[in-house]
């Protein structure tokens, strides 16, 4: 059973809090800028441009992916906060279905991540990437898909996490490896076999590859897209549905 | 007409039986109290009644709806104020109430009216757009009560409503609850381990180790303790006990160097006692029976003893962590 008004108000709450916390907004911009201009520029001196794209341009799709990754995981982990500080109870005893809570949280996490991805696009002019209007909308479409996928994953984790102590473990053993093994920093084809296999089971890999299709349109591997776009989109969609189903199921348990 | 009906309710957590076959009913408009030490099963009972937990066996129903089978109808009919605050401290008072109104599907216009109405009742109208972060404990509790009442529930659940509040705030909250029941004819179900608080109830169920051991009005419960309680200290308590028994046929028991005896008309008894007793009396005090004395008489322990020494805190923690894991 899906109820519209509760879902709306759950989203509204997340947005109010997102725009109220100035530090979180600032962090949204600071991290990508740091990666792009410090790491990106540093590495550019080692790696030569190929097929018309520089390393700085190569990592930009990865930076968007990274922003979505952090934002989505952070949004969904807020469920654990809600539980620790009691607010979850207010939702659990209300006459709304658990499914509505899960959808509300997924939707708000997705929308906030997409909003952050759009904010990151202001960096485009500094990178020498041409962004047409259709491309802009294509980026948003891919962002929606990837954000939805990662948020669902985060909610599945949050449903299982019983206390906030687990958060550091998630950051160190899931989020960081997901970032480094995603083709965001280095091409998948250039990786040693063991790492490449790990990269291939990471849904973020295909999300970032889809961003490369849109932003580095004429690029070829290693610095351009490495998988067919259809494969990227089908895989992310399938993983999203799977994650969300599991998340909704693990939320339904009541003793 | 009974609005809360509980029959043979049992809840088992792995090896621990939190509540053990309890039955009771609460009439509409009544203030009903659950009194007992920490870990006695109070919060577990509330959690089942408000559909957060499902019972192991037995039934619980509110306003003719079964808590396990018809949770949404039950949820519409109840308001809850929890032990720990469940407000979002990052939002304003108004935003917290608005959130609640939408969860309970109140019409937007109606929600605005009710929010203003409730904020006025709890005297927080002036803080409508302030962040909860800046509220005191008492203000938070008042706002929670306002929120719990926003959808006009028929039963209001208060789980240790004044826990951690100073006595002055506690009184304010109680004045407020009393005014409310006069105006709204709302049914109140509350748990507490404060004796003074339980005295505000129409009826009380005393619960210990998951079982109801007594249930009646505070007045009748106190009559279970015969008359007044007299505490005396004598030069030789051990010799005094048999002498009091012989002279007055009253049995005294010793507690931390003080003799405690129950008698009717204590004020008249004291002069006779001091006059007749061969052992010198060092101090005397008289006290009308409290619910604590009732609990002591029924269980042989005081409620506060449990808080300090028993392993009840452990039980409570166990129940809590178990519940967390289930969510």
- Residue in B211, B218, B237, B210 with CA at minimum distance from that of residue B293: B218
The C-alpha angle with vertex A63 and arms to A62 and A68, in degrees rounded to 5, equals 95
The C-alpha angle with vertex A56 and arms to A55 and A61, in degrees rounded to 5, equals 100
**Second CATH level (architecture) for the domain B2-222:** 3-Layer(aba) Sandwich (3.40)
Q: Is the dihedral of CA B130, B131, B134, B137 positive or negative?
A: positive
DSSP string covering A51-83, please? TTB-HHHHHHHHHHHHHHHHHHHHHHHHHHHHH
Residue A110 CA neighbour count, 13 Å, CB half: 20
Cα gap A116→A29, rounded to integer Å: 8
Q: What is the pLDDT of residues A92-108, one digit of tens each?
A: 889 998 889 999 999 99
CB-based contact, A95 to chain B, within 8 Å? yes
DSSP string covering B153-189, please? -SEEEEESTTTT--HHHHHHHHHHHHHHHHHH--EEE
CATH code 2.40.50 for B226-288: no
pLDDT of residue B308: 43
DSSP string covering B39-83, please? TSSHHHHHHHHTTSS--SEEEEEETTEETTT-HHHHHHHEEEE-S
Is B50's pLDDT higher than 80? yes
Question: Closest-CA residue in chain B for A79?
Answer: B327
Domain range summary for chain A, segments of one domain joined by +: 4-252
Task: Tell me what the mean pLDDT of segment B226-235 comes to.
Answer: 85
Contact A163 B324 (CB under 8 A): yes
- What pLDDT band is residue B88 in, cutting at 50, 70 and 90? very high
Mutation to test the A interface, candidates B99, B153, B156, most A Cβ within 10 Å? B99
Cα gap B140→B118, rounded to integer Å: 14
> What residues of chain B lie within 8 A of the CB of A89, using their CB?
52, 80, 82, 86
Q: What is the pLDDT of residues B279-312, one digit of tens each?
A: 888 888 888 887 878 888 888 777 665 444 444 4
Could you say which residues from 143 to 182 on chain A have a Cβ atom under 8 Å away from some Cβ of chain B? Answer: 162-163
Maximum distance among all alpha carbons in chain A?
Answer: 60
CB-based contact, B86 to chain A, within 8 Å? yes
Cα gap B60→B79, rounded to integer Å: 16
Cα gap A237→A243, rounded to integer Å: 10
ipTM: 0.86
Contact between residue A174 and residue A201 where contact means Cβ atoms under 8 Å apart: no
pLDDT of residue B307: 47
Cα gap A81→A6, rounded to integer Å: 19
Mutation to test the B interface, candidates A93, A108, A161, most B Cβ within 10 Å? A93
| CB proximity list for B278: less than 8 A, separation 6 or greater | B243
Residue keyed to tokens 């099963």: B41
Cα gap A180→B161, rounded to integer Å: 50
pTM of the model: 0.81
Contact A254 B76 (CB under 8 A): no
Mutation to test the A interface, candidates B86, B141, B143, most A Cβ within 10 Å? B86
Contact A86 B102 (CB under 8 A): no
Cα gap B80→B158, rounded to integer Å: 6
> What residues of chain A lie within 8 A of the CB of B84, using their CB?
86
CB-based contact, A9 to chain B, within 8 Å? yes
Contact B100 A94 (CB under 8 A): yes
Task: Tell me what the mean pLDDT of segment A209-218 comes to.
Answer: 90
Residue B185 or residue A5, greater confidence: A5
């Amino acid at each position: 059973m899906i109820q519209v008004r509760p879902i709306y108000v759950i989203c509204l709450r997340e947005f109010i809090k997102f725009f109220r916390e100035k530090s979180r907004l600032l962090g949204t911009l600071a991290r990508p800028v740091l990666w792009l201009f410090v790491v990106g520029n540093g590495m550019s001196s080692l790696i030569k441009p190929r097929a018309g794209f520089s390393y700085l341009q190569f990592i930009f799709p990865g930076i968007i992916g990274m922003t979505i990754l952090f934002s989505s995981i952070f949004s969904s982990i807020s469920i654990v906060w809600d539980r620790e500080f009691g607010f979850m109870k207010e939702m659990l005893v209300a006459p709304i279905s658990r499914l509505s809570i899960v959808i509300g949280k997924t939707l708000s996490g997705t929308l906030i991540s997409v909003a952050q991805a759009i904010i990151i696009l202001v960096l485009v002019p500094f990178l020498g990437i041409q962004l047409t209007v259709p491309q802009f909308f294509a980026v948003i479409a891919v962002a929606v898909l990837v954000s939805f996928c990662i948020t669902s994953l985060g909610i599945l984790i949050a449903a299982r996490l019983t206390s906030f102590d687990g958060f550091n473990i998630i950051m160190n053993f899931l989020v960081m490896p997901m970032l480094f093994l995603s083709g965001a920093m280095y091409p998948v084809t250039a990786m040693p076999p063991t790492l490449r296999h790990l990269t291939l089971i990471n849904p973020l890999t295909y999300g970032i590859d889809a961003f490369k299709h849109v932003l580095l349109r004429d690029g070829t591997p290693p610095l351009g897209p490495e998988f067919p776009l259809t494969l990227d989109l089908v895989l992310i969609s399938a993983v999203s549905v799977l994650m969300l189903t599991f998340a909704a199921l693990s939320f339904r348990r009541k003793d | 007409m009974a609005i809360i009906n509980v029959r043979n309710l049992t809840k088992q957590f792995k090896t621990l039986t939190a509540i053990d076959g309890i039955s009771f009913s609460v009439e509409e408009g009544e203030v009903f109290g659950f009194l007992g030490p920490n870990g006695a099963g109070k919060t577990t009972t509330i959690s089942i009644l408000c559909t957060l937990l499902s019972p192991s066996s037995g039934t619980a129903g509110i306003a003719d709806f079964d808590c396990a089978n018809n949770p949404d109808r039950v949820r519409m009919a109840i308001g809850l104020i929890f032990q720990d605050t469940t407000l979002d401290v990052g939002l304003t008072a108004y935003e917290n109430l608005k959130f609640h109104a939408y969860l309970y599907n109140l019409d937007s216009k109606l929600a605005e009216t009710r929010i203003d109405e409730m904020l006025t009742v709890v005297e927080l109208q002036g803080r409508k757009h302030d962040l909860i972060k800046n509220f005191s404990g008492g203000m938070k509790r008042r706002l929670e009560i306002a929120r719990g009442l926003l959808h006009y529930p028929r039963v209001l659940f208060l789980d240790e409503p004044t826990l951690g509040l100073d006595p002055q705030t506690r009184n304010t909250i109680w004045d407020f609850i009393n005014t409310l029941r006069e105006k709204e004819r709302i049914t109140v179900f509350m748990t507490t381990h404060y004796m003074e608080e339980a005295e505000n109830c129409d009826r009380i169920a005393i619960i210990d180790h998951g079982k109801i051991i007594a249930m009646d009005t505070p007045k009748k419960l106190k009559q279970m303790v015969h008359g007044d309680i007299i505490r005396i200290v004598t030069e030789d308590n051990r010799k005094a006990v048999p002498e009091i028994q012989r002279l007055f046929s009253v049995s005294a028991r010793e507690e931390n160097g003080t003799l405690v005896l129950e008698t009717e008309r204590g004020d008249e008894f004291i002069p006779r006692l001091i006059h007749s007793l061969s052992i010198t009396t060092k101090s005397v005090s008289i006290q009308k029976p409290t619910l604590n004395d009732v609990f002591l008489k029924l269980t042989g322990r005081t409620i506060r003893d449990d808080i300090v020494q028993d392993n009840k805190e452990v039980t409570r923690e166990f129940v809590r962590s178990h519940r967390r894991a289930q969510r």
